[in-house]
Structure 1
Amino acid sequence: MTTTVQITSPAGEKGDSIVLPDAIFDVQANIALMHQVVVAQLAAARQGTHSTKTRGEVSGGGKKPYRQKGTGRARQGSTRSPQFVGGGISHGPVPHKYLQRTPKKMKAAALRGALSDRARGGNIHVLSSLVEGDKPSTKVAISALAHVSTAKNVLVVIAREDVAGWKSLRNAENVHLIASDQLNTYDVLKSDDVVFTEQSLNDFLIFAKAQAAVIETELELAVEEAIAEVLVAEVLEEAIEEAVVEAALEEAIAEDNASAADPTEEESK
């Protein structure tokens, strides 16, 4: 199913239509894959610097608080034990990374699924630009968005060199700005509508095509490396088998020569 979107000007005038590529905007969404990619992205955003001190790291507490016996209270060796206020923490969090490795191919497939879901719902829009000219204007940019979307949360994909657009919407409420080469599954799914500028859509399609070519090249190289490893393993296996056979033949020849050189041994046998 071909998805067609009309290009709207900042003044709200409808212009030419643009056909969204089926390879990106009309694919089957893999919900499990999108979930995995989003979880990995959120995990990567965590700093992982949480930390607590154990009883050995807390300052003080070197002196026994009171004598071992005769007080009627439970014996204690340090006021920095976990049961004391101001003491150490048992089994507390320690700094560690939350990074999850996600292959590029999975990220790209998840993004295609998210964009396809938004396109099928009619939530992909294209503006010719956010403002007319090079002068930033938040009022004009918000008015332009209102012509194509009334959603509460809007993701605006903008070209990096569109300085006027960045300045116009950087403080707008319920609007998330992102560069075309930073578009990701999480931001697409979090937003109700996705609005491209005409330039950012072209940049994104070029970037996606180049990324697909890189992934395909990496896949081909990986396949070639795997084939080369298999061939090397086969050659080594054949060489080992030949070496074993040659060693066995040499051993047999040596035994025959030894038997021929010592006739007494043959007679004793």
Structure 2
Amino acid sequence: MANNTVLSTVKVSLPGEIFEAPVNIPLIHQVVVAQQAAARQGTHKTKNRGEVSGSGVKPFKQKGTGRARQGSVRAPEHRGGGVVHGPVPRDYSQRTPKKMKAAALRGALSDRATNGRVHVVEFALDKPSTRTALKGLASLTDRTKFLVVLDRSESVVWLSLRNAPEVHVLAVDQLNTYDVLRSDDLVFSKTAYETLVGGAPVVAKSTKAAPKAAKAAEKVVDKAVALAPVADAEVPGAALPLEDGSAPEGYLIKGNKDSMKFHAPGGRWYDATVAEVWFKTAEDAIAAGFVEAGKKAAKKEDGE
């Protein structure tokens, strides 16, 4: 255990879901290859025979010179001619699902933890000092390549270690499989470790997910508001039709305010009737003074 004026080792219990995960070598290889491929600029470019400078005129006649026939000085066999099948700008990135990245990172962290190469420390630096910080790291192990994971607020430690060639400094939200594997020992600051195991995702979620989720939630709310029944101010127990003329959810009885008649599902004129108001039940319609169309009471009112 390292305890000095620069840093002190913090005793922690490494959570099994992060530091005791199965190590899937092919998966880790795939993720690392994809990460390295994504880092390529892909700006390479050569000129083909249509892009190099030079005349398009046939350099000499086809026959009679004794020389091999030539059609252009821009052909690839000539000095200064175009390149055949040369590299062109391209995107080397590969699609890697988030779950694969997370599983590979957990495997890499578990491998380091199994071999005792994960350290959680608390730095005590008042001002930036590369020599002092390196002296503290050297007290942890004889190995020389370190990945130091910090919180973004730990600027003093960051400034102390950023220039050291044997140390790679990384923010905890940028932790990745490749950087874990290329270092001998993994050193977490106490704050960064608490951020990692305190519920924060091992692989940062896409920032595009939040706006999409918010929009989906807004749509659900808007739909619920649109389908909510609006009470009719003139008829007790009745609701107005929705904007598209359909019935509010749970309202099946059609009512006509002019004739004070209502139509129940399965009735003779139910499908042909355009509802001015809607009722949940026939009892609600009767309580509001409506009579069922086609019944004796309705015929009596019509004078039949």
Same fold (TM over 0.5): yes
Q: Report the counterpart of residue 174 of structure 1 in structure 2.
A: 166
59-68 or 35-44, larger mean C-alpha shift? 59-68
74-83 or 144-153, larger mean C-alpha shift? 144-153
1:179 offset after TM fit, Å? 0.6
Q: Report the counterpart of residue 149 of structure 1 in structure 2.
A: 141
Instruction: Check the 8 A contact 2:150/2:171 in 1, yes or no.
Output: yes
Instruction: Check the 8 A contact 2:6/2:133 in 1, yes or no.
Output: no
Q: Report the counterpart of residue 118 of structure 1 in structure 2.
A: 112
The code of the aligned residue for 1:49 comes to T
The code of the aligned residue for 2:81 comes to G
Residue 97 of structure 2, aligned match among 96, 103, 119: 103
Q: Report the counterpart of residue 132 of structure 1 in structure 2.
A: 125
Q: Report the counterpart of residue 200 of structure 1 in structure 2.
A: 192
Normalising to structure 2: TM-score of the pair? 0.64
Deviations 1:121-176 (A, max 9, x none): 000112111x423x111111111101112212111111111110111011112111
172-181 or 197-206, larger mean C-alpha shift? 197-206
Q: Within 5 Å, which residues of 2 pair with 1:50-129?
A: 50-129=44-123
Identity %: 55
Instruction: Check the 8 A contact 1:34/1:114 in 2, yes or no.
Output: yes
Normalising to structure 1: TM-score of the pair? 0.72
1:207 offset after TM fit, Å? 5.8
1:36 offset after TM fit, Å? 0.8
Q: Distance between the aligned counterparts of 1:207 and 1:73, measured in 2?
A: 77
Report the structure number with the largest CA radius of gyration. Answer: 2
Q: Distance between the aligned counterparts of 2:72 and 2:189, measured in 1?
A: 66
2:99 partner SS: helix
Q: Within 5 Å, which residues of 2 pair with 1:38-57?
A: 38-57=32-51
Q: Within 5 Å, which residues of 2 pair with 1:8-47?
A: 8-11=2-5, 16-47=10-41
Could you say if the C-alpha distance between residues 70 and 184 of structure 1 is closer, same or farther in structure 2, counting changes exceeding 3 Å? same
- Is 2:177 the partner of 1:185? yes
Instruction: Check the 8 A contact 1:159/1:200 in 2, yes or no.
Output: yes
Q: Distance between the aligned counterparts of 1:186 and 1:10, measured in 2?
A: 31
Q: Distance between the aligned counterparts of 1:146 and 1:25, measured in 2?
A: 24
Deviations 1:23-60 (A, max 9, x none): 10011111111111101101100111111111111111
Could you say if the C-alpha distance between residues 89 and 209 of structure 1 is closer, same or farther in structure 2, counting changes exceeding 3 Å? closer
Instruction: Check the 8 A contact 2:11/2:120 in 1, yes or no.
Output: no
CA RMSD of aligned residues (A): 2.4
Following TM superposition, the consecutive aligned residue runs of length 4 or more in structure 1 with deviations greater than 3 angstroms are 12-16, 206-214
Higher RCO, Cα 8 Å, sep 6+: 1
Q: Distance between the aligned counterparts of 1:147 and 1:36, measured in 2?
A: 35
Q: Distance between the aligned counterparts of 1:92 and 1:78, measured in 2?
A: 19
Equivalent residue pairs, number? 209
Instruction: Check the 8 A contact 1:10/1:127 in 2, yes or no.
Output: no
Q: Report the counterpart of residue 232 of structure 1 in structure 2.
A: none
Q: Distance between the aligned counterparts of 2:120 and 2:164, measured in 1?
A: 19
Instruction: Check the 8 A contact 1:127/1:196 in 2, yes or no.
Output: yes
2:136 partner SS: helix
Deviations 1:99-126 (A, max 9, x none): 1111111111110000000000000112
Q: Distance between the aligned counterparts of 2:202 and 2:185, measured in 1?
A: 25
Instruction: Check the 8 A contact 1:10/1:141 in 2, yes or no.
Output: no
> Which structure is higher in helix share?
1
Unaligned stretches of 5+ residues in structure 2: 214-304
1:199 partner SS: helix
